[in-house]
Amino acid sequence: MEVRIGIRDVAREVAFESAQTPDQVRAAVAEAVSAGTGMLELADEKGGVVLVPVTALGYVELGAHDKGRVGFGAH
């Protein structure tokens, strides 16, 4: 699933593919925002971690599940 995160006062958004479900991402965002301080922590599909300070969080947009890619090579 594609996740895009807008950061306050930054023109570009953070975009990555996540193996987490939409419900897991929603829960992580809700928990981080309700705490008011700290970091939003999400995992990407390659095993990496994306950390965003909650105070800098502008928005989180959840995309559709990856339907398959067109092209050459292993993904």
User: 41-74: per-residue pLDDT in tens?
Assistant: 999 999 999 999 999 999 999 987 655 566 676 6
Residue 71 domain-assigned?
no
- Show Cβ contacts of residue 74 under 8 Å, excluding neighbours closer than 6 positions: none
Residue 67 domain-assigned?
no
Residue 30 domain-assigned?
yes
Residue 50 domain-assigned?
yes
User: CA–CA separation, 3 vs 29, rounded Å?
Assistant: 12
pLDDT of residue 16: 94
Residue 72 domain-assigned?
no
DSSP 29: H
Tell if the pTM clears 0.75, that is, is over it: yes
Tokens standing for residue 35: 């705490």
Per the structure, the count of domains in the chain is: 1
In the chain, % of residues over pLDDT 90 = 73
Residue 51 domain-assigned?
yes
Asked whether the predicted pLDDT for residue 33 surpasses 60, the reply is yes
Residue 69 domain-assigned?
no
pLDDT of residue 7: 94
Asked whether the predicted pLDDT for residue 3 surpasses 70, the reply is yes
Range of the domain at 9: 2-62
User: Hey, which residues does 39 pair with through a beta bridge?
Assistant: 53
Residue 70 domain-assigned?
no
